Structure 1
Amino acid sequence: MTLFYRALLLPKRLLLLLPLTLLSLAAAAQGQLVQYRTAKNQLDQGHYDVAMKQLQPLAQPVNHFAQAADAGYLYAVAATRQGQWAEAEQMLNLIRHEYPTYAALNEVLYLQGQVSFEQGDYDNALRTLGQLPAEQYAALRESLQANYLGKLKDRATWQRLRQRYPNSKLVGRLYADFLRGSGPLADADRQQLDALITQFKLDRSQYAPAPAAPKALPRKSTYNIGVLLPFELQDNTWQTQRKNQFVTDLYAGLRLAQDSLQRAGHPVQLFAYDTGADTLTLKSVLALPELAGMDMLIGPVYKSGARLLARYAQEHQIACINPLSQDGDLVLDNVYHYLYMPSAATQGRLAAQFAASAFGTGRPAVLLREDAKDDNDFAQAYQVAYQEAGGKILESRTLRPDDAASLAAAFAGLDLASVSHVVVASDHRKAGPATFAALQAVPAATRPALLAPGAWLDNPSLDPGQLGGPTVYYYHPKYFDNQRPGYRRFRQLYLAKQNLPPSVFASQGFELLLFFGNALQQFGPAFQSGLATLPPLPGAVFEGLAYPGTAHDNQVVPMVKLSNLELQLVR
């Protein structure tokens, strides 16, 4: 029997009240919708307590709110922002039980995994995250798991997880990392570590016992520094000379710093070695007996050679500085190896901390990266650090800038108006134009901020109007103020020597030797422990250098923006 005919059978008195009841229900539904929208605004503004009080009744099934599941999810988000993990978990359980067909159930599972981790319930976290579809959530899930499991220090919990997830490579690798960082290993732990390395095909060299701290060495009146660079002096063709101009510039900067140290009463002697473009030549240089007597080594510039020299430095206990690489893996577990540059991972971590402060964490971010080692390292570190700050990554996508279809797909379907900022980890010349084109399609009032590499500032395909947008920022490890007295003095000296203005490679060579040459004078050849205690120091050319604690790459990464055609340091 239809509702209409049932109504006709009602007593006339009740039949007269029926329109009033329907009006009341409509008014109540409208009131709920207004309350929901108000609560969302309170959440966006960071008024989490107020938002929770308004959302909690809307999420209850008894109140029949059409968007009850959405209200419950937002309640849980607000609770996590305040560290109220038990309240968040209770609401997430309600959603899963009462609204099993909720369209955003995967987001609920992901958040519940984080909540379980925060409460130390690692089993439930892994079990919940395991229900997420792999094709969509594999990278996000692994990043979240790595973030929390990487902090786990309880041996009993690790052993329980290892038993319950014996085939999980992530659990196995992170457990191996835990064992490696636990100090001297007992025989049983060493056997476990060996089994993990074998089962998951881990790099055994990464799990070798940590070397002893460098021993103090006597101070000297002057220090000998070996410079190992691919000068390729045997090939005098103009093509090779042009290709190697950056090497020549780097060495010219080193020589100028040597002069400056000499004038300051801190003399160093440079001994240049041509490593060629292949590892065979480098190996022949490393076989020279005189090299083992150096107080410090600088070079090389190619990754295969960098690994060889790092191993040599460790075996001979000589500090080695890589002048150009941003690969943080090169300096893992090697107290004798340093990067002059910030690693890509350090850049990602510090960029995320800046973004959380500058853009807030109330709305999510979009993270795009080129599929290359440094860019992937940056993106992974960015995501972990931004989530640790309370933020959320709406989408994390890989792009291939040389492929027009890949570039288009990277921005396809993104709700850019709903995010706080977009991060692009690629200095490819085609990445910038594609990004600005996508952002231009968003109305200015809702257009997200952009955080991009400083290399974009030198891209001729981008005009100053784009680069200097009001919400466009750059992470720029090579930033320097060309009006700073230190730089102007350096430029004057370089022009007098070379009759050319200094390139960025010449500037890097100068800064590198000036900093580490002074470290030699202050602390001697075993300067590692002394360097770890120094505060960030301003550079003569660049913004600064810092190697605190166990850091072996520079921890200073300037954040800048372009305003009135001038770069401004914002952090």
Structure 2
Amino acid sequence: MTHSYRAAGRPGRWLLLLPLLLLSLAAAAQGQLARYRTGQAQLDQGHFAAAMKELEPLAQPINHFAQAPDAAYLYAVAATRAGQWAEAEQMLNLVRNQYLTYPGLNEVLYLQGQVSFEQGDYDTALRTLGLLPAAQYGPLREAMQASYLAKLKDRTTWQRLRKRYPQSALLGRCYADFLAASGPLTPADRQQLDALITQFKLDRKPYASALATAPAAPKALPRKATYNIGVLLPFELTDNTWQTKSQNRFVTDLYAGLRLAQDSLQRAGRPVQLFTYDTGADTLTLKTVLALPELAGMDMLIGPVYKSGARLLAQYAREHQIVCVNPLSQDADLVLDNPYHYLYSPSAATQGRVAAQFAATTFGTGRPAVLLHEETKDDNDFAAAYQAAYEAAGGHVAATHSFHPDDPAGLAAALLPAELTGASHLVVASDNRKTGPAAFAALAAVPAATRPALLVPGTWLDNPELGLGQLGGAGVYYYYPKYYDRAAAGYRRFRQLYLAQQKLPPSVFASQGFELLLFFGNALAQYGPAFQGALATLPPQPGAIFEPLTYPNGAHDNQTVPLLKLSNLEPRILNK
């Protein structure tokens, strides 16, 4: 007969082992505590590598150390003193993500601001320090910011920070100091410096000599009967493989749109000549093209499409005082501080600003927003501009999360029900097709009475994984810079002409090429090659296909960003 301890009324084996288990856990806890104290001592004695070695395992959640957040923070302190900034940042991120109730979270944020500054990530540093309570950390935060901003010498970073924090007196003063120390000022520099002095009521005397050194503005060029335009695109004509041809289809479509616009300008009595150059896929080929003497005689340049090449061409355009238009980029940094460089499209930062102003009007500012974005340059720029503009309008962004759409767990973790329930709207800056279903699923879990509105890119309308019932929901809105009305007469005429020439329907790239050359070709005909001043004062100009193009007040990216929602499953522009 088989007997069991339970059947005989005896305690189970696990009960007999329980005292041993408790003793083992107590011993482990004592061992962890001893190791923690050793790490503290090593840190106090300046043995930073030894301290990091002791503290690192204690900080991991899997080891269930009672003082894990403190161990992580001390590890980060040791790493910063050892100059190991990346290691410090990794551990500080662990604290912020895993130990949300840690009482020392403000100290973590303060240290993370320093770590970001040391790594040259000024955007993250300012955003992180901005989370600290002003009453307790105001003077400390300002002292740190002033110290690191005084070391910043990169003009592009300065321009980006000014756009994101236009009301920061500290940043404005430091930028004015940077401009004054930059040598002879361009007209754009002088205008910026004067505006900073006025906006922040700075003493004008220290900047008088810098303001006086600005060179005269370039003279307007005479108008001509026809204009020569250089088109610099990566056709890669020397590579005839099908893979390259397939990948470069957007380039040939863009060029086909330019050629069709050339015909339209010719018929309107405003002829332009296109001179085409194959820049290849590397900067070496582009540099060879830029060395051609004939290029300096062009009246305007269009291209290229890759960022490294765009920077080179922007510099060339400035040196030779030839207006250059980038056809596809949304990176505002490319046109900062360059009166000869334009983006055809609205930059990601402009999209964020316009979307935030729309949200403040449409959703109000009584309840906070939640902002999600991918970890890409354009989406980071959008998110930073959105938060700055929404808060400038009196709103509050309660939570900002970045994510990688290919990490389902990370994406799900960014969509927190507790944050969504109290929000007026959720903004998601991501074109990835995996993001939409996750966002709609998270919103569906929020009770209808407290469900926030959703503001997302217009590219979601083309996502086959989303249903019309979701896309046409009452609280769903879209920012869509590439929107055009397919039923409009202008698009139907363009489509007819394009089909007659190419025997294929036009892609969005063909449409953009057509619109770009029509707009800037007309600007050349009306105002000559130095048309920057005229563009700055023109009202929005109707587009042949897209919504009006506008470059007011010296803007060098298109400021028109349509905001849509579906009405009876048809798009309707809300900010026309």
- Matched with 2:530 is 526
Task: Go from structure 1 to structure 2 and tell me whether the alpha carbon gap of 1:162 and 1:353 turns closer, same or farther (over 3 Å shift).
Answer: closer
- Matched with 2:494 is 490
Deviation of residue 512 (structure 1)? 0.2
- Matched with 2:317 is 313
Separation in 1, partners of 2:150, 2:366? 31
Deviation of residue 459 (structure 1)? 1.1
Does structure 1 residue 169 correspond to structure 2 residue 153?
A: no
| Paired residue type of 2:147 | S
Q: Within 5 A, what are the aligned runs for 1:81-480?
A: 142-143=126-127, 164-165=143-144, 168-170=147-149, 173=152, 174=171, 175-181=173-179, 213-412=217-416, 414-480=418-484
Deviation of residue 218 (structure 1)? 0.9
| Paired residue type of 1:469 | G
Separation in 2, partners of 1:370, 1:312? 32
Deviation per CA, 1:188-238: give whole Å up to 9, x if none: xxxxx9xxxxxxxxxxxxxxx988644211110000000000111111111
Separation in 2, partners of 1:269, 1:411? 52
The 8 Å contact of residues 417 and 442 in structure 2, kept in 1 or not, is answered as: no
| Paired residue type of 1:483 | A
- How many residues end up aligned between the 2 structures? 417
Separation in 2, partners of 1:140, 1:163? 15
Deviation of residue 134 (structure 1)? 5.7
| Paired residue type of 1:142 | L
Residue identity over aligned pairs, in percent, reads: 69
SS of 2:553's partner is coil
Task: Go from structure 1 to structure 2 and tell me whether the alpha carbon gap of 1:390 and 1:134 turns closer, same or farther (over 3 Å shift).
Answer: farther
Separation in 2, partners of 1:210, 1:379? 35
- Matched with 1:51 is none
Q: Normalization by structure 1: what TM-score?
A: 0.68
| Paired residue type of 1:476 | Y
Separation in 1, partners of 2:478, 2:142? 45
The 8 Å contact of residues 229 and 302 in structure 2, kept in 1 or not, is answered as: yes
Deviation per CA, 1:22-79: give whole Å up to 9, x if none: xxxxxxxxxxxxxxxxxxxxxxxxxxxxxxxxxxxxxxxxxxxxxxxxxxxxxxxxxx
SS of 1:452's partner is strand
Deviation of residue 430 (structure 1)? 0.8
The 8 Å contact of residues 344 and 378 in structure 1, kept in 2 or not, is answered as: yes
Task: Go from structure 1 to structure 2 and tell me whether the alpha carbon gap of 1:164 and 1:464 turns closer, same or farther (over 3 Å shift).
Answer: closer
SS of 1:414's partner is helix
Separation in 2, partners of 1:431, 1:231? 32
Task: Go from structure 1 to structure 2 and tell me whether the alpha carbon gap of 1:432 and 1:162 turns closer, same or farther (over 3 Å shift).
Answer: closer
- Matched with 1:504 is 508
Deviation of residue 388 (structure 1)? 0.2
Q: What RMSD in Å do the two structures reach over aligned CA positions? A: 3.1
Task: Go from structure 1 to structure 2 and tell me whether the alpha carbon gap of 1:537 and 1:278 turns closer, same or farther (over 3 Å shift).
Answer: same
Deviation of residue 509 (structure 1)? 0.2
Q: Within 5 A, what are the aligned runs for 1:28-39?
A: none
Task: Go from structure 1 to structure 2 and tell me whether the alpha carbon gap of 1:136 and 1:161 turns closer, same or farther (over 3 Å shift).
Answer: closer
Deviation of residue 176 (structure 1)? 4.4
Deviation of residue 562 (structure 1)? 1.8
Separation in 2, partners of 1:167, 1:481? 49
Q: Normalization by structure 2: what TM-score?
A: 0.68
Task: Go from structure 1 to structure 2 and tell me whether the alpha carbon gap of 1:318 and 1:465 turns closer, same or farther (over 3 Å shift).
Answer: same
Deviation per CA, 1:480-517: give whole Å up to 9, x if none: 11121111111111111111111100000000000000
Task: Go from structure 1 to structure 2 and tell me whether the alpha carbon gap of 1:354 and 1:167 turns closer, same or farther (over 3 Å shift).
Answer: closer
Separation in 2, partners of 1:535, 1:422? 32
Deviation of residue 457 (structure 1)? 1.0
Task: Go from structure 1 to structure 2 and tell me whether the alpha carbon gap of 1:185 and 1:314 turns closer, same or farther (over 3 Å shift).
Answer: closer
Deviation per CA, 1:248-286: give whole Å up to 9, x if none: 000000001001101111000001101111111111111
SS of 2:418's partner is coil
Task: Go from structure 1 to structure 2 and tell me whether the alpha carbon gap of 1:349 and 1:279 turns closer, same or farther (over 3 Å shift).
Answer: same
| Paired residue type of 1:344 | A
Task: Go from structure 1 to structure 2 and tell me whether the alpha carbon gap of 1:135 and 1:284 turns closer, same or farther (over 3 Å shift).
Answer: closer
| Paired residue type of 2:274 | L
Structure 2: gaps spanning 5 or more residues:
1-100, 117-122, 132-138, 153-170, 186-192, 194-212
Q: Within 5 A, what are the aligned runs for 1:1-12?
A: none
| Paired residue type of 1:309 | L
Separation in 2, partners of 1:475, 1:172? 37
Deviation per CA, 1:401-455: give whole Å up to 9, x if none: 0011111111135331211000001111111111111001011221100000111
The 8 Å contact of residues 277 and 289 in structure 2, kept in 1 or not, is answered as: yes
Deviation of residue 163 (structure 1)? 10
Task: Go from structure 1 to structure 2 and tell me whether the alpha carbon gap of 1:179 and 1:136 turns closer, same or farther (over 3 Å shift).
Answer: closer
Separation in 2, partners of 1:211, 1:450? 49
- Matched with 1:155 is none
Deviation per CA, 1:333-355: give whole Å up to 9, x if none: 11000000000000000000000
Deviation of residue 169 (structure 1)? 2.1
Separation in 1, partners of 2:454, 2:460? 12
